[in-house]
Every structure is written in structure tokens, then in C-alpha cells.
């Protein structure tokens, strides 16, 4: 059944998902909003933070709230691409090879500690994240839609890890941190009767067909030439900034536009404002920057965020009459 929605219905549906997750989980509401809007924009999320703050729980909760299938993959050094994508197995009954899908065939895929797997496995995700399909033994298999990867990694404990290559990082639309919960939130969490079952009270508030309809509506949100000029000024500015070896790619510009459209739709608008771009830029751009002598870990991420915040502050915003 084809679901048709208008901007107000899309806004209400997105707010229902955010409200359901925010009332159940201990993570900040702004992280929940960014994750839901990444789903609306058709992207993937990389969550960087210390263990135990609820990264995996958020991913499971999102799949529950939208009524989609979810698979969790624990990335380890001995994981093989076939363990992720699936493989062809010979069937004696039919005397032919039959494809057995891997755990990547789900609406929401949780890639836990993605930097624990070697580059061969990490690269197996590229086609899936970029094109929504996988190739096994020369055959192409399309993934379930909507399809979203929510990957987690610990930016502090680096022993035995493999840094994600730039091509892989560029596939993630957004990258964010949780931070520790506020004291009052943590108090309510430890006092709860289902502290170790935080999703117990979460119910489905949307369905896959509605999410697909919202995605299609999001792609039609208007982005005017002055706002597009402002957006490209931000991304191209990263390519000419001291201390940055490689700036944001054109894919980064496209994903910033998609996330800005999702924010506009979330605010019940069918057009993008510069404020939407300014909101989305710190989520979409920093992890794409390759800094000079930055190293690997939380310090490099902090420096990249500072670069983006500086660019936002110094880039002229279009006047209201120019939009």
C-alpha cells in the first residue's frame, strides 16, 4: 500500500518517534532528534562515545518505534565479509547454490564497535551503505528499505582497533556523541523498576511504509539558490582552511543538504532556511575532515568540530530577502 503524507503529517509522525524514544531512554533529546532525522534523510549514523551510555539501546529503540526489523552485529577482528553479507550454500536437495542472507538484511543494522573489525570487513559495508545492495559471488541482492546503519565505536580505547578509512566515514551522514546523562536523569534511571530493560515500555508509533513516505517527502523539500550558495560556502570552506589536509567532499554537501531538508520538514516547512544548515553542519561535516597531524581518537574529533564551528561563525548568512 502506497502511503501519501503532507508536511504536517510527516512532522507529527517524526515528533511521535522522537517523543517515544526521549521518554524511554536516558540519552539527550537532541541526540534522539538527530538520529531520527538521519533516518528521515536516508542516511546512516556513527555514534562515538564511551561504553555504557546507551548507544546500542538507542539503535534498538529506533527500530522498535518504527516497526522495522533490527539486527545487531558485534564487530571483532575475526569477523569475515560473509558473516556480514551472507553467502551461497550448496543445497543437495536442489543441486544448486542457495543464497543465505546475512544480518545486514534488516531495516536497522547495529554495527557495534565497528572499528574492531579489519578493513576487509569494513569495506564490505561500502556498497550496502552507498547503494542499498550487496554483491556476493557476482550476484546483486537488494537490501530491505528503509535501510539504516547505526554504527558505534569507542574513541578512547584504541588498542586492537582499525581506524575507519575516509571512504567509510564519508558514507555516514552524521556522527555524534552522547555525553554522560545529567544527574537527575541518571537518578531516575537507577530508580526505575526496569533499569536493565529500558525498552520494556516502548511501543511502535510508526511503520515502515510511513517512514518511506516521509523520506520521499523530505527529498522534495525546496532548497533555494541563496541557501544552496551558503551551504556550499561552508563545505568548500573546509577545503581551504589551515590545518585541514582534505576537506568535505561533494557527497558531504549532498548529505548536508539532505539533513537540512529533514530538519525543515521536522519544523513543518517545505523549504530550507540557513538555520537548518547551521543546525545540521556540526553533525554532518566534522567526521569528514582529514586534519594535519591530528592522530586518531577523541582529540581529532574535537579539533574537527572546532574547525566547523569556526566556519559557521565566520560564513555570511543570506539575508531574508535573498532566500
Q: What is the DSSP string of 174-234?
A: EEE---PPPHHHHHHHHHSTTTT-TTTT------HHHHHHHHHHHHT-B--HHHHHHHHHH
| pLDDT given for residue 23 in this prediction | 84
| pLDDT given for residue 238 in this prediction | 92
What b-and-e string marks burial along 16-51, b requiring 16 or more CB atoms within 10 Å of the CB?
A: ebbebbbebbbbbeebbbbbbbbbbbbbbbbbbbee
| pLDDT given for residue 173 in this prediction | 96
All CATH 1.10.8.80 domain ranges of the chain, comma separated, are 221-316
| pTM recorded for the entire structure | 0.89
Judge contact between 144 and 69, C-beta under 8 A: yes
pLDDT in tens, 141-190: 999 889 999 998 877 666 667 788 888 889 999 998 877 767 777 677 67
Where the chain has pLDDT below 50, the residues are: 1-2
Sole residue written with cell 552524521: 174
* CA distances to 39, 64, 125, 294 from 103, in Å: 19, 17, 12, 34
CATH architecture group of domain 7-187: 3-Layer(aba) Sandwich (3.40)
pLDDT in tens, 101-140: 999 999 999 998 888 888 888 888 888 898 889 988 888 9
Judge contact between 47 and 302, C-beta under 8 A: no
Judge contact between 39 and 146, C-beta under 8 A: yes
Cell numbers placing 35:
538520529
Q: CATH topology for 221-316?
A: Helicase, Ruva Protein; domain 3 (1.10.8)
| pLDDT given for residue 169 in this prediction | 87
All CATH 3.40.50.300 domain ranges of the chain, comma separated, are 7-187
Amino acid at each position: 500500500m502506497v502511503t501519501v503524507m503532507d508536511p504536517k503529517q510527516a512532522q507529527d509522525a517524526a515528533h511521535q518517534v522522537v517523543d517515544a524514544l526521549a521518554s524511554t531512554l536516558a540519552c539527550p533529546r537532541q541526540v534522539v532528534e538527530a538520529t531520527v532525522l538521519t533516518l528521515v534523510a536516508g542516511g546512516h549514523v556513527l555514534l562515538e562515545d564511551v561504553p555504557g551510555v546507551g548507544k546500542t539501546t538507542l539503535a534498538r529503540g529506533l527500530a522498535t518505534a518504527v516497526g522495522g526489523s533490527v539486527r545487531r552485529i558485534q564487530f571483532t577482528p575475526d569477523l569475515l565479509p560473509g558473516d556480514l553479507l551472507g553467502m551461497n550454500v550448496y543445497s543437495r536437495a536442489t543441486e544448486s547454490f542457495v543464497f543465505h542472507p546475512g544480518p545486514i538484511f534488516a531495516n536497522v543494522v547495529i554495527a557495534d564497535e565497528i572499528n574492531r573489525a579489519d578493513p576487509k570487513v569494513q569495506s564490505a559495508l561500502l556498497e550496502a551503505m552507498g547503494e542499498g545492495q550487496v554483491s556476493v559471488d557476482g550476484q546483486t541482492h537488494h537490501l530491505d528499505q528503509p535501510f539504516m546503519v547505526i554504527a558505534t565505536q569507542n574513541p578512547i580505547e584504541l588498542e586492537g582497533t582499525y581506524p575507519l578509512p575516509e571512504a567509510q566515514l564519508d558514507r555516514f551522514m552524521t556522527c555524534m556523541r552522547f555525553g554522560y546523562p545529567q544527574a537527575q536523569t541518571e537518578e531516575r534511571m537507577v530508580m526505575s523498576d526496569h533499569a536493565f530493560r529500558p525498552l520494556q515500555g516502548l511501543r511502535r508509533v510508526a511503520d515502515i511504509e510511513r517512514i518511506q513516505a516521509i523520506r520521499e517527502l523530505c527529498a522534495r523539500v525546496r532548497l533555494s539558490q541563496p541557501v544552496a550558495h551558503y551551504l556550499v560556502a561552508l563545505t568548500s570552506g573546509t577545503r581551504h582552511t589551515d590545518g585541514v589536509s582534505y576537506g568535505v567532499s561533494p557527497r558531504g554537501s549532498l548529505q548536508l543538504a539532505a539533513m537540512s531538508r529533514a530538519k525543515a520538514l521536522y519544523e513543518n516547512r517545505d523549504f530550507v532556511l540557513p538555520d537548518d544548515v547551521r543546525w545540521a553542519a556540526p553533525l554532518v561535516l566534522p567526521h569528514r575532515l582529514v586534519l594535519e597531524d591530528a592522530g586518531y581518537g577523541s582529540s581529532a574529533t574535537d579539533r574537527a568540530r572546532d574547525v566547523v564551528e569556526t566556519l559557521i561563525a565566520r560564513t555570511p548568512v543570506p539575508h531574508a530577502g535573498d532566500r
